């Protein structure tokens, strides 16, 4: 089917998922929406997150997308069930794929989940992991400084990156976990530095790869895969002009991206 896949995040984080979908499903077209105007979502209430996410998802659906990926853990935690009930097309989030990766990865059944305040408080990973394997112990850690830091391209400065990681993750190195889940799609942008901080004995995982595999399964099941022909260009939309978004997207996706500003 020729229609695009809608990918949504509060900002640049979902690009880490979009890149993986592009890699695994090169025939597919992506329409990406970054709600930079309302970012970060992590400090907002459930009602606010549902309102903003719904608005952007509706925009993508009106553009004709065949499925939507909430490439944002916070939006998944707050709004996935609501949106799945409201709309007829397949809508998936990133938490279930991330939880599955964590279950595969841990050998000592101790997992640390890094996320926004909302994601940590919602305990959405604990619930998903427990549903599959209740022997696994999950610790949640909110890292509210990371998203604004990444959105403002603070991570270009290596020393500043090391400092913020050290300050935020202090005391999490001796929890005895063998697996750390990047439970926010922004955090893979810091993955190398976070891995360095934890050292070789702890695996750092993100849900992007697993989420892309889930997109493929859903498309396959619903017979919605795009054939090679008629491939259209990916499109990028943001809710407010942002040079940072264009810079980060261009760097992350390795080609020049100029997102269209949409006033929702
Ligand atoms: N990328 C979003 C997530 O996965 C960031 C949340 C935010 O806007 O605070 O949770």
Instruction: Specify the 3-state DSSP secondary structure of 137.
Output: strand
- Give residue 155's pLDDT: 86
The reported pTM is 0.94
Q: What is the pLDDT of residues 29-73, one digit of tens each?
A: 999 999 999 999 999 999 999 999 999 999 999 999 999 999 999
Q: What is the pLDDT of residues 121-169, one digit of tens each?
A: 999 999 999 999 999 999 999 999 999 999 998 888 999 999 999 999 9
146 lines ligand 1 (CB under 6 A): no
For residues 222 and 116, what is the distance between their CA atoms, to the nearest angstrom?
33
Higher per-residue pLDDT: 115 or 153: 115
- Give residue 223's pLDDT: 83
Q: Locate 210 and state its tokens.
A: 């697993």
Instruction: Specify the 3-state DSSP secondary structure of 203.
Output: strand
What length does the chain have? 264
142 lines ligand 1 (CB under 6 A): no
- Say which residue the tokens 């077209």 belong to: 29
Which ligand 1 atom sits nearest the alpha carbon of residue 94? 4
Select from 108, 124, 100, 120 the least CA-distant residue to 202.
108
41 is annotated as contributing to ligand binding:
yes
Q: Are 66 and 89 in contact (CB under 8 A)?
A: yes
Residue 177 Cα to ligand 1 midpoint, Å, equals 23
pLDDT band at 236 (very low <50, low <70, confident <90, very high): very high
State whether the Cα torsion 154-167-12-180 is positive or negative: positive
- Give residue 228's pLDDT: 66
């Amino acid at each position: 089917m020729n229609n695009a896949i809608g990918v949504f995040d509060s900002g640049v984080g979902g690009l880490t998922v979009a890149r993986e979908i592009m890699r695994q499903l090169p025939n597919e077209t992506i329409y990406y929406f970054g709600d930079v105007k309302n970012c970060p979502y992590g400090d907002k209430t459930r009602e606010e997150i549902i309102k903003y996410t719904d608005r952007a998802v509706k925009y993508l659906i009106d553009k004709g997308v065949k499925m939507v990926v909430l490439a944002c853990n916070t939006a998944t935690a707050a709004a996935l069930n609501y949106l799945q009930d409201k709309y007829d097309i397949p809508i998936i989030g990133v938490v279930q794929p991330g939880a599955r990766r964590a279950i595969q990865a841990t050998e000592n059944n101790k997992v640390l989940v890094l996320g926004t305040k909302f994601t940590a408080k919602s305990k959405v990973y604990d619930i998903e992991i427990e549903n599959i394997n209740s022997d696994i112990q999950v610790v949640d850690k909110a890292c509210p400084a990371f998203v604004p830091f990444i959105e403002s391209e603070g991570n270009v400065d290596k020393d500043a990156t090391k400092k913020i990681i050290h300050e935020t993750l202090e005391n999490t190195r001796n929890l005895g976990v063998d697996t750390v889940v990047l439970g926010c799609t922004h955090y893979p942008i810091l993955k190398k530095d976070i891995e360095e901080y934890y050292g070789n004995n702890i695996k750092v995982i993100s849900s992007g790869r697993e989420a892309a595999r889930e997109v493929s399964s859903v498309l396959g099941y619903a017979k919605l895969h795009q054939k090679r022909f008629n491939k259209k260009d990916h499109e990028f939309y943001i809710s407010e002009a942002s040079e940072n978004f264009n810079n980060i997207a261009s760097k992350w996706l390795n080609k020049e991206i100029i997102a269209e500003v949409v006033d929702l």
